[in-house]
Amino acid sequence: MELDDDAKPNLTALNRNLSSGGCSDNFKDERNGSVDDCLKHGTDSSASAAKAPVKRRAPIACRRCRRMRSKCIHEKASPPCNACKEAGLGASDCIFPVRGQPDDDRDYRHPRMRAEKASKRDLIKTRREVLDAPVFPLSVAPADRLKHADEWDLMPPLPEIVEAVHLFTRKYFQLGFIPKQLFPARLQRDHRSVSIFLLLSILSISARFSLALTRRYQGEIKAADFFMERASTLALNELYSEPTLERCQAFYLLSIAQQGSGWRNRSYINLGIATRMAVLMHLHREETYVIKVPTKELVIKAESARRTLWMLHSQDNLHCGAKSPISLAASDITCLLPSDENDFANGNEPKSRAALEDTPPARENPSLIHQPTRSLFASLIQAHYYWGKVARRAMVSTKSSSPWDPTSEYSKMAASLASWEQQLPPDHKWSMVLLKGHKSVGEDLAYMSVTMVTKLCNVVLRRPYLDDIIHPEPKSQAHRVFFSHLSDELFRNVRDLFEQIDNQFSVRGADESVGAQMASFCVYSCGLFSTYLCKYKNSKLSLPPPYHYSKDHPDVGNSLF
């Protein structure tokens, strides 16, 4: 769906200030004297006649305040009163009636109905239960729940927030849309200029890494849940607001936090909201990032927006499934891939950018896919894209009936993946030396994601043919040779994946993170496929050289690993 330029929203949020008058009971008019009053005070009729009549007191509320049953605060009945002034009314609209004028202001009000005492008691009991409840459960939180008057009053101290932001970019998203230097500096300089919704979403992920926050909220899970619940509550108010970059980023990070906490459906919904906001802001179009007068701040903001779009696309590929179709197809994206971290931090526009396979720029110029100068972030997005294609194919339980045919889906995918892996920049290929180098600049988790996901793609791509490897057809010699070669490729990638995992943990400190969920899935997959070697020691499963000796070892698992 193409949107007009007029429909393109701004990247700044609108602030609406609503003001209204206070509420209190109005004073009632005093009653005139009566015969009962005279009898009560023991006065005779002559004394009563001589006594001056009780006059109606001067009006003390304007007509508007009388109608609204609000307290009328004024200076000696000089209009406008405080309530009318706050409502934006002038002196001509604030009328104080004088003696003798008809007092019919209350005719506009509905008569008060006296409630039953039992109903009152039930209402008071319900209110007390609501107020005494410690936490609103997410599953029953009302949609119209009002947010706190000032959300910053409920936030932890600013130094703890800044520390959590640093942990977020160091232990989780080493490559992301948050400027690692500018964002914390802006937070310290003017914290109210930062979206509270975005900060709560960041803390929903990084609170478990912060020692100060885990102590404050009595545990890692409780700390993360506290901020995730508050972010979820704010999301109800942010949902139909004007799409902005920070609002889009907040919904995306909230989706990540919910995915890690087991709220899969809520995560999927919020990811869809963030994606729709990105599309409304035209972040998938390359022309959106054209800056007429580029400055450092504008270049950084544009790069942050570009990275937001690609992180949404990558997340869609990472958590794909048979019942979770992709939200934004590559054929609809003309946006090129992100720059490297130095250009992002310094506000420099790169000389060239890579493109993702199947996007219009890549179809026009296929060399952009294998650009040798592409950034690590670009390679990471490409690896995630291949994983999405491989995983979707694996989860629908379909496999090529003739995988040895060069025109089969398996052969095409294997050739495309092998070509991309071979043409990776040298700095993006696996090496223990490169791991230490990336670790020194705080990019080791991102580097390992590129190398491990690449190996995982090769393993999962060949997973559907394990039965054919274990039980080959006895009649066809050509097929047995093909599946023997496929077995070599499968377990070579399993062995390479283990080598990367083993080396990563050898240089990892006790307090260091392993990154996102995908890292755990790589460890799981490596262990899962190694069990086949243990179970089928005497079968046709084979290890490529120089690992053939492992099959004759009494414990294949130990010799392989």
- Burial environment of residue 357 by CB neighbours within 10 A (0 to 12, 13 to 18, 19 or more): middle
| Contacting residues for 288 by C-beta, under 8 A, at least 6 apart | 281, 282, 305, 335
Half-sphere exposure for 508 (CA within 13 Å, toward CB): 16
| Contacting residues for 106 by C-beta, under 8 A, at least 6 apart | 66, 67
Of 118, 137, 103, 168, nearest to 442 by C-alpha is: 168
CA distance 449 to 187: 29
Radius of gyration of the chain (CA): 35
- Burial environment of residue 39 by CB neighbours within 10 A (0 to 12, 13 to 18, 19 or more): exposed
pLDDT above 90 for 17: no
Concatenate the DSSP letters of all residues of 424-438 into one string: S-GGGS--HHHHHHH
Q: Would you state the pLDDT for residue 106?
A: 60
What's the average model confidence in pLDDT over 52-60? 53
Q: Would you state the pLDDT for residue 474?
A: 64
| pLDDT tens string 424-462 | 999 999 999 999 999 889 898 999 999 999 999 999 998
pLDDT above 90 for 162: yes
Residue 99 in tokens: 């003696």
| pLDDT tens string 472-497 | 776 677 778 888 888 888 889 999 99
| pLDDT tens string 65-109 | 888 778 888 888 888 998 888 888 888 888 888 777 776 666 655
What's the average model confidence in pLDDT over 351-368? 94
Q: Would you state the pLDDT for residue 88?
A: 82
Decide: 532 and 466 in contact? Cβ < 8 Å: yes
| Higher-scoring residue by pLDDT: 100, 18 | 100
What's the average model confidence in pLDDT over 517-545? 74
- What does DSSP assign to residue 296? H
Concatenate the DSSP letters of all residues of 444-499 into one string: HHHHHHHHHHHHHHHHHHHGGGHHHHHS--SS-HHHHHHHHHHHHHHHHHHHHHHH
Q: What is the value of pTM for the model shown?
A: 0.69
CA distance 250 to 245: 9
Of 215, 295, 290, 307, nearest to 252 by C-alpha is: 307
Residue % of the chain over a pLDDT of 70: 74
Q: Which of 158-167, 274-283, 514-523 has the lowest mean pLDDT?
A: 514-523
